[in-house]
A and B are shown apart, each in its own frame.
Chain A
Amino acid sequence: MRLTAITAALSLTAGAALAEGVAPDDVSYSDYGEVTVSLSGQPGDATRGREIFANKSQGNCVSCHAVTELADVPFHGEVGPILDGVGSYRTAEELRGIVANAKMTFEGTVMPAFYKTSGFIRPGDGYTGKAAPDDLAPILSAQEIEDVVAFLMTLQDS
């Protein structure tokens, strides 16, 4: 009885780990900052990715990047480059690495790392100004990173 319980628990954990894909601290970056495998183990959804890209409380990528395809979203920022056509000149592996932790591709960049949970100075609990909890979540989940990458791949040269 006890044995069965343990085996069941074990296979559950294994299953959960698989579904969660790669944890933030375990992501492996190439020398150029690329990440080859899907972080969630699943393909991304470009429609969801578009929302995350524009949404202030999620990716908020638009606060720094302008994209012509998002003309319905007001106030595009100028801190980062315009991302029109980025899916044509970057591979999905490069884009996954850039969105997960852009510092691996562009040393010292101001672009935040969206799939990272350690190594911060005075991390906060979201935008409350209070200290972060011990189990700080990445800004975007593994699946959300995949969704954003899928959206970026739709930005092709016209």
Chain B
Amino acid sequence: MRHMALTAIAAVLAGTAAFAGGADDDTLILNDEIEMVTKTAAPDHLSDAMDEIISGWHFRSDETQQLQTDDFENQGMIFADYGAEAWDTVEGSEDKSCASCHGDAAESMVGVAATYPKWNDGAEEVRTLQMQVNDCRTTRMGAEPWKYDSGDAINMEAFVTSHSRGMPVNVAIDGPAEATWLDGKDIYYTRYGQLELACASCHEQNYGNYIRADHLSQGQINGFPTYRLKNAKLNGVHSRFKGCIRDTRAHTFSPGSPEFVALELYVKSRGNGLSVEGPSVRN
């Protein structure tokens, strides 16, 4: 269907329709140094659904792709720099900064984002990176929590995530995290809203196809937070989920809700094996 439709449209509508087909074959090399894994074999748990997992980077135009290859062109890195400043800033009743305990993030935070969301034994819950950072702020610094997906929270997420770039996404889905992962999977395949569309309807059944002017990707989150040219700021995973559900004419969930935490774990696990790209650039 995907390829047939494409050729037919190319024949009839040349000039009018936007078309380019599935993922392209470009290679993403960061700062002339790190070669990113942007396509790889699907993890075992997805073997019934697809053979290959593909980063959203491959579905964007050459111009947008280019912006992500160099930290000086990637505007998302400006926000990561704000996160770096916050890392060293003392806040809260305990007179501590993140650096007081974690030292140089370029050492202590390497590989951390690749494993989140992650089960936390003490709290007996699956935590997203933002939840973990807020826990450090409230219980260890005596500072106010950041609002979910707010500018401060996303800047810090981008900064922490940037130290995992090029490392494979590797979230655990078994053991104590399994129940949450299954909740997320349920949500992924539920056809919400008046349009009755599931994440899978667009990102599993139709990736590579155009839906109006949008080139559908697999909806992977290895590139989050994403700097979007459309709104010129960093965007969080939950805000993206919210937008996609809203577009099915549905009553959405809120950023930070248990539903989105579970969905984040599940969607992230669909990208196990892809390189962490965040902060990435998207349109």
One of A68, A73, A126 near B249 (C-beta < 8 A): A126
The prevalent SS among residues of B at the interface is loop
We find that the number of chain A residues with CB closer than 8 angstroms to chain B is 36
Question: Counting CB contacts under 8 A, is B257 at the interface?
Answer: no
Complex interface: chain A residues within 8 A of B211 (CB): 63-64, 77-79
* Least CB distance, B150 to chain A, in whole angstroms: 18
Q: How many A-B residue pairs have CB under 8 A?
A: 112
A139 to B196, CA, bound (A): 12
A113/B196 contact (C-beta < 8 A), A63-B212, A77-B211, A129-B242 known:
yes
* Least CB distance, B14 to chain A, in whole angstroms: 10
One of A73, A75, A110 near B210 (C-beta < 8 A): A75
Question: Counting CB contacts under 8 A, is A1 at the interface?
Answer: no
Question: CB distance B209 to A77 under 8 Å?
Answer: yes
Question: CB distance A74 to B213 under 8 Å?
Answer: yes
Question: Counting CB contacts under 8 A, is A131 at the interface?
Answer: yes
Question: Counting CB contacts under 8 A, is B139 at the interface?
Answer: no
A82/B196 contact (C-beta < 8 A), A110-B205, A127-B246 known:
no
The stretch from B15-23, B38-46, B70-78 touching chain A is B15-23
Complex interface: chain B residues within 8 A of A121 (CB): 190-193, 196, 250
Question: Counting CB contacts under 8 A, is A62 at the interface?
Answer: yes
Question: Counting CB contacts under 8 A, is A124 at the interface?
Answer: yes
Complex interface: chain A residues within 8 A of B196 (CB): 112-113, 120-121
Question: Counting CB contacts under 8 A, is B13 at the interface?
Answer: yes
Complex interface: chain A residues within 8 A of B2 (CB): 78
Question: Counting CB contacts under 8 A, is B245 at the interface?
Answer: yes
Complex interface: chain A residues within 8 A of B195 (CB): 112
- CB interface residues, A 58-85, toward B, < 8 Å: 60, 62-64, 66, 68, 71, 73-79, 81-82, 84
Which of A63, A64, A76, A130 has the most B CB atoms < 10 Å from its CB? A76
Complex interface: chain A residues within 8 A of B242 (CB): 129
Question: CB distance B12 to A68 under 8 Å?
Answer: yes
Question: Counting CB contacts under 8 A, is B247 at the interface?
Answer: yes
A63 to B9, CA, bound (A): 13
Question: CB distance B17 to A128 under 8 Å?
Answer: no
Residues 45-64 of chain A, each 1 if its beta carbon lies under 8 Å from chain B, else 0: 00000000000100010111
Nearest opposing residue in chain A for B15, CB measure: A71
Question: Counting CB contacts under 8 A, is A123 at the interface?
Answer: yes
A71 to B193, CA, bound (A): 31
One of A71, A82, A112, A124 near B8 (C-beta < 8 A): A82
- CB interface residues, B 222-248, toward A, < 8 Å: 242, 245-248
A21 to B219, CA, bound (A): 41
A20 to B211, CA, bound (A): 33
Question: Counting CB contacts under 8 A, is A37 at the interface?
Answer: no
- CB interface residues, B 197-224, toward A, < 8 Å: 197, 201-202, 205-206, 209-213, 216
Nearest opposing residue in chain A for B242, CB measure: A129
Taking A79-B209, A130-B251 as given, write out 5 further A-B residue pairs in contact, using a Cβ cutoff of 8 Å, ordered by the A residue number.
A66-B8, A74-B17, A112-B196, A124-B249, A128-B246
Sorted from nearest, which 9 A-B pairs have the closest CB atoms? Answer: A63-B212, A129-B246, A75-B213, A78-B209, A131-B251, A112-B195, A129-B252, A122-B251, A110-B201
10 A-B contact pairs sorted by A residue (CB < 8 Å)? A68-B13, A73-B16, A75-B17, A75-B213, A110-B201, A121-B250, A122-B251, A129-B251, A131-B251, A139-B249
